[in-house]
Amino acid sequence: MYKWEKSAQLLQENERWISGGIVSLNRKSEPNICFNTGRGSRVFDVDGNEYIDYQAGFAASFLGHNDADVNEAVAKTLTNNSVLMGAGPTTLEGEFAQLFCQCVPTVESIQITTTGSEATYHAIRIARAVTKRDHIIVIQGGYNGWHNDVSCNVISALDDIGERVSPGEYPYDSSSAGVPSSHSSLVHIINYNDLESVKYVLKRYEIAAIILEPILQNIGIVKPQEGYLEGLRSLADAHGFLLIFDEVKTGFRHALGGYQSICKIQPDLSTFGKAVANGYPLGVIGGKRKYMDYFAHPDKKERVLIAGTFNAFPLTTAAAIATLKKLSSPAADVYGHVFKLGAILEEGLNDIFKSTGRPYYVARQGSAFCTYFMDHAPVDFHDILNNHDFKYDNQYRRKLIEQGIFNFPLPIKQGSISYAHTENDIAITLEKTKNVVASI
């Protein structure tokens, strides 16, 4: 039986000095486990427990924890005394940018930030500067960061957002106090996979952009229906707003060229983070040059400000270069490996749940997965709120953790397989899952 006495003690101690006891309070969960080491597919907590990890630092650690090649690049940069100068260009940022644009050919130029939230912030700002419009559309159940434009309806309860309205828009249920109402009135929230709602909003407001995860991966794995992303592209072209793909989660995890290379839709701007530097903090905003060049617009009144003392921090940038090189390596065959493991896991989970008589649906895209306790693939967040068995999901996750399989203990959170996982890890996971399902 797993115990978390030291973890609980640590939380209590930290509460004296950290508001809420934990940095970034979306990490707070039940149980609250304090992890102190990660190696490959495994993480270890302060109580000495070991887990096969599918949380992967909120999907950032795609190669696995403490990847040797990434660590080596970081160590080399450290010993080469690459320092943060904050003046002039650097060879590291140039090397990374070139590599990035080669990996994601739909992106013509980039800027580098420290987090995904900064990248989405800048993408929206560019869209407003380009279109000279203020209103934006975001997606119910999507997550695009913490800032005023997008910190809305983050896994909100049905009571807060209300039943489905279609076509239509939903109230901005801010996940943060302190967002000015003048700001939230500019943000229109609609359901995913619902083009009619986009048209509804377009009739009423001058829209600068729609920002969305091309697959909703902050409420599991909700895939675009046929024609949806194409429809958004056509509407953007017809109405002159920018289509922004937030690929912070989908980028690099599903393909070197981002999910846009799979769905073959070119957004105007895209944002990346997480897997791009295998757990080191780096965000990217990239896209069509005519839009990206607003950062360097010759007319000062048109220019979009981008700044950040730590942008393209040398150690982080070195980690990102090493990550992209490994992801591009045919010898490493990262994608072949993780997709194979994903398929084995999906098949095994289907076999286990088939015999329970319980409604379920195993959703997967490559190495990312989520088991829903409902009888069909979810179409949008309302579909999940109305049909998913949240109580069972909670129990399921808790019991898996007690068996040494770590998925974040919050219903509908997506799991991530890394390159460091092995077929044996998946076999152990399935065995433990079988026990857990039998015990609930």
Ligand X SMILES: Cc1ncc(COP(=O)(O)O)c(C=O)c1O
Q: Which parts of this chain interact with ligand X (CB under 6 A)?
A: 58, 115-117, 120, 143-145, 213, 218, 246, 248-249, 273, 283
* CA proximity to 388, closest of 158, 130, 68: 158
For the CA atoms of the chain, what is the radius of gyration? 22
- The residue among 9 and 176 lying less far from ligand X, judged by its C-beta, is 176
Q: Whole-number minimum distance, CB 12 to ligand X, in Å?
A: 26
Task: Evaluate whether 369 touches 346 at the Cβ level (below 8 Å).
Answer: yes
- The residue among 145 and 348 lying less far from ligand X, judged by its C-beta, is 145
Q: Whole-number minimum distance, CB 430 to ligand X, in Å?
A: 27
- The residue among 210 and 248 lying less far from ligand X, judged by its C-beta, is 248
Q: Which residues neighbour 420 within 8 Å (Cβ) at sequence distance 6 or greater?
A: 40, 41, 63, 64, 65, 67
Cα 281 to Cα 186, 243, 272, 300, 318, distances in angstroms: 29, 25, 11, 30, 11
Q: Whole-number minimum distance, CB 273 to ligand X, in Å?
A: 5
- The residue among 116 and 348 lying less far from ligand X, judged by its C-beta, is 116
3-state DSSP assignment of residue 67: coil
3-state DSSP assignment of residue 250: coil
Cα 384 to Cα 361, 422, 435, distances in angstroms: 11, 31, 26
- The residue among 144 and 429 lying less far from ligand X, judged by its C-beta, is 144
CB atoms within 10 A of CB 58: 20
* Encoded tokens for 65: 């924890």
β-pair type (35-39, 42-45): antiparallel
Q: Whole-number minimum distance, CB 357 to ligand X, in Å?
A: 34
- The residue among 406 and 408 lying less far from ligand X, judged by its C-beta, is 408
Q: Whole-number minimum distance, CB 252 to ligand X, in Å?
A: 12
Give the H or E element holding residue 79: helix 68-79
- The residue among 115 and 174 lying less far from ligand X, judged by its C-beta, is 115
Q: Whole-number minimum distance, CB 214 to ligand X, in Å?
A: 10
Q: Whole-number minimum distance, CB 58 to ligand X, in Å?
A: 5
* Encoded tokens for 311: 């942008």
